[in-house]
Chains A and B, each alone.
Chain A
Amino acid sequence: MSAFYASNLVLVQATLVAILLALSIQVPLRLGVFSLAGVGSYGIGAYVSANLVLREEMGALPTMLVSGLVAAAVGLLLGVIIYRLAGLYLAMATIAFDLTVGVVALNGGDWTGGPVGLFGVFTNLTMGLLFGTVVLVLVLVHLTEVGRLSRRITTVREDPELAASMGVNVRAYRLTAFVVSGFLGGLAGCLNTLTRSAVGLQDVSFHLVVVALTTIIVGGALSWRGAVIGAVLFTWLPSVLEVVGEWQEFVYGLIVVLAAIFLPTGLYGLWCSVRRWLVDRMRPRPRPRPGSEPRPEAPSAAAAAEQEVAAR
């Protein structure tokens, strides 16, 4: 067991949780659903899991499943109610949902511990289970980014009317986005509580919306790799910025602004275009149409991102 790993264990755990939280926002985004409800689900998962462990003395795995499912059920209910909304209106409605979860957490009495929160949440969660869960989620998400399903998702996002005329049930896809977002958010919240052994109002604050959004915008909104890049970056940034000391907030803001302006497809999109440019330089040869040659190693989501870059 390496000393580095031991002394940075909290950051490793936090990175894994941040990946799940980012995915809970990213999955609906890929379906063209600008929902930030994942943050509210995170809060639900965080408090539900604390109660399951403290009151029912449940083990780690069932706690994770139940927390995820409860948050997914709430997500479904929310989706049924507001799936008609789009764009900024949907974002606003889901932010209202997130903040409502926060108010409930503050006023929940013994169930939430009010302003203090709940602590002493110890379970038999192991790092192996934590890693395994996140890897499993990433594999499942990856499967939605390749092949036919990926093309359908892209169509639902870019042109819902076209998708509907092709026989894709757009409504079902959108509702699924809410459910998946709820489950992932709930799971993230649950794992955060289990690794921190405590839950408090900081787990239901508006700040998390900012964190999750910046994570995927800077990392890249169209592939799980973007979520991973963003999560690693923003989890480890505070320790790196310690050298900046008092000005870290400023630097953080600057990074977000620059990413919003200059990285339309995030760091992952940038990496794809750089790689592509390199490949083109290395192997100069006439090509009938850019991007038409089959490249099995590049998933279609990335390809779409590249085409977006190329199109400009």
Chain B
Amino acid sequence: MQELVAIASLGSVYLLFALGLSTAWGTIGILNFAHGAIFVSAAYGCYELLEVRQLPVPVLAVVAILIGATMSLLMQVLVFDQVRRRATSERAAETRILIGGIGVAMLPIALASHQTKNLAFGLSASGFEASIWTVGGVRVSSIQVATVVCAAGAAAALAWYLRRTRAGLALRSLGVDDQVAALMGIDRRRYAWATMAVAGGLAGLAGVLLTLNLGAISAESGDALLIKAFACVVLGGVGSTVGVVVGCFTLAASEVWVLTQTSGMWVEAVSFGIIFAVLLLRPQGIFGRQEVRRV
């Protein structure tokens, strides 16, 4: 039972982080390597803010969402749009966006590591203390509940938006074939901006929730999550919201299982093994409908 709580909270963190990554990749074709940097920057921004004044956790969450959304939007406008405009072909653009993301990620991370000297930082200055409830012998902390609720809410809202609204339909059509979508009069840039802002906001929220949950992170904490999120996205199928949810919880469950059944040395290999196996057996992921470009 206690393992289920661990799986739920771990999977929810992965989910908050991976949702934006997956949506951007599946709709506007941007695999953003700076997603982890946004996550860390939002948490770091809140940490700096707390040095100046005391704020309650809900306000911090809003601040983090704003920081994340702003950073992500800036990246889109200043870097990814520029890359796409100058690239010679779609494939070249893909490679360069990946590289651009790697480069852009270095900037805020360099800033944060410099300021913190790479030491751990946390949000304990907010005075937040997680309360622990014991339900039938199983311990649950308030921050775990909050993480699960936020993740579930974000996933549900995103799924509804993509499925049930005209804008969502337009966005999905970009993912299927952006040239046809452009002919239908869908303004790709506008949608790209909106998508990136939402993705960044989610990463920012994940940053604050995870920092509260863990107590401390450091400037380097984003990288580890990025790889895990890739695994979740690939597993569930790029662009499928349901798929990402399943992917995140599957990965969390397998990691917790490996950790509790073995000495823990091979936990790392789980996520890579999953990426590999899925790409091999079902390249579109479990729920992916999008046809993977084959040769």
A170 at the interface (CB under 8 A from B): yes
B102 to A100, Cβ gap below 8 A?
A: no
Cβ contact of B102, chosen from A29, A83, A96, A214, cutoff 8 A: A214
Segment among B104-112, B175-183, B243-251 that sits at the interface with chain A: B104-112
| Complex interface residues of chain A between 68 and 107 (CB less than 8 A to chain B) | 81-89, 91-93, 95-97, 99-100, 102-103, 106-107
A246 at the interface (CB under 8 A from B): yes
Residues of B close to A32: CB separation below 8 A: 91
A312 at the interface (CB under 8 A from B): yes
A217 to B113, Cβ gap below 8 A?
A: no
| Complex interface residues of chain B between 79 and 137 (CB less than 8 A to chain A) | 79, 82-83, 86-88, 91-92, 94-100, 102-107, 109-111, 113-114
| Complex interface residues of chain B between 18 and 50 (CB less than 8 A to chain A) | 25, 31
Segment among A45-53, A54-62, A255-263 that sits at the interface with chain B: A255-263
Closest CB-CB distance, B194 to chain A, in whole Å? 22
In the complex, residue of chain B having the shortest beta-carbon distance to the beta carbon of A210:
B102
In the complex, residue of chain A having the shortest beta-carbon distance to the beta carbon of B278:
A93
A254 to B230, Cβ gap below 8 A?
A: no
In the complex, residue of chain B having the shortest beta-carbon distance to the beta carbon of A251:
B110
Closest CB-CB distance, B112 to chain A, in whole Å? 11
User: If the complex has contacts A246-B114, A308-B88, are A253 and B106 also in contact, measured as CB distance less than 8 A?
Assistant: yes
Per-residue interface assignment for chain A, residues 237 to 248, with 1 indicating a CB less than 8 Å from any chain B CB and 0 otherwise: 000000000110
B269 to A256, Cβ gap below 8 A?
A: no
Closest CB-CB distance, B289 to chain A, in whole Å? 15
A253 to B105, Cβ gap below 8 A?
A: yes
A166 at the interface (CB under 8 A from B): no
Bound-state CA distance A86–B227 (Å) is: 19
B295 to A84, Cβ gap below 8 A?
A: yes
User: If the complex has contacts A88-B31, A100-B276, A261-B83, are A214 and B94 also in contact, measured as CB distance less than 8 A?
Assistant: no
B275 at the interface (CB under 8 A from A): yes
In the complex, residue of chain A having the shortest beta-carbon distance to the beta carbon of B86:
A264
A88 to B275, Cβ gap below 8 A?
A: no
A249 at the interface (CB under 8 A from B): yes
User: If the complex has contacts A250-B107, A250-B110, A261-B86, are A89 and B283 also in contact, measured as CB distance less than 8 A?
Assistant: yes
A311 at the interface (CB under 8 A from B): yes
A-B contact count (CB 8 A): 143
In the complex, residue of chain A having the shortest beta-carbon distance to the beta carbon of B231:
A96
A111 at the interface (CB under 8 A from B): no
Residues of B close to A214: CB separation below 8 A: 99, 102-103
B88 to A93, Cβ gap below 8 A?
A: no
B79 to A257, Cβ gap below 8 A?
A: yes
Report the count of interface residues on B (CB-CB < 8 A): 49
A89 to B104, Cβ gap below 8 A?
A: no
Bound-state CA distance A262–B275 (Å) is: 33
Closest CB-CB distance, B105 to chain A, in whole Å? 7
Per-residue interface assignment for chain B, residues 59 to 89, with 1 indicating a CB less than 8 Å from any chain A CB and 0 otherwise: 0000000000000000000010011001110
Bound-state CA distance A312–B87 (Å) is: 9
Bound-state CA distance A93–B272 (Å) is: 8
Residues of A close to B164: CB separation below 8 A: none
Residues of B close to A210: CB separation below 8 A: 102
User: If the complex has contacts A92-B234, A160-B295, A249-B109, are A84 and B283 also in contact, measured as CB distance less than 8 A?
Assistant: yes
Per-residue interface assignment for chain A, residues 171 to 193, with 1 indicating a CB less than 8 Å from any chain B CB and 0 otherwise: 10010000000000000000000
Cβ contact of B103, chosen from A93, A106, A247, A253, cutoff 8 A: A253
B86 to A91, Cβ gap below 8 A?
A: no
Residues of B close to A122: CB separation below 8 A: none
A96 to B87, Cβ gap below 8 A?
A: no
In the complex, residue of chain A having the shortest beta-carbon distance to the beta carbon of B92:
A264
| Complex interface residues of chain B between 244 and 295 (CB less than 8 A to chain A) | 265-266, 268-269, 271-273, 275-276, 279-280, 283, 292-295
Cβ contact of B268, chosen from A88, A99, A257, cutoff 8 A: A99
A194 at the interface (CB under 8 A from B): no
What would be 18 A-B contacts, judged by CB atoms less than 8 Å apart? Answer: A82-B280, A84-B294, A91-B98, A92-B279, A96-B271, A96-B272, A103-B268, A170-B295, A171-B295, A217-B99, A246-B114, A254-B103, A254-B107, A257-B100, A260-B96, A261-B86, A264-B88, A312-B86
If A89-B283, A103-B272, A107-B266 are given as contacts, then 7 extra A-B residue pairs at C-beta distance below 8 Å, sorted by A number, are A81-B280, A84-B283, A86-B293, A99-B268, A106-B268, A257-B79, A257-B104
Binding site for B on A (CB under 8 A): 29, 32, 34, 81-89, 91-93, 95-97, 99-100, 102-103, 106-107, 160, 170-171, 174, 206, 210, 213-214, 217, 221, 246-247, 249-250, 252-257, 259-262, 264-265, 308, 311-312
CB-based closest 5 A-B pairs: A253-B106, A256-B103, A249-B110, A260-B100, A257-B103
Binding site for A on B (CB under 8 A): 25, 31, 79, 82-83, 86-88, 91-92, 94-100, 102-107, 109-111, 113-114, 223, 227, 230-231, 234, 265-266, 268-269, 271-273, 275-276, 279-280, 283, 292-295
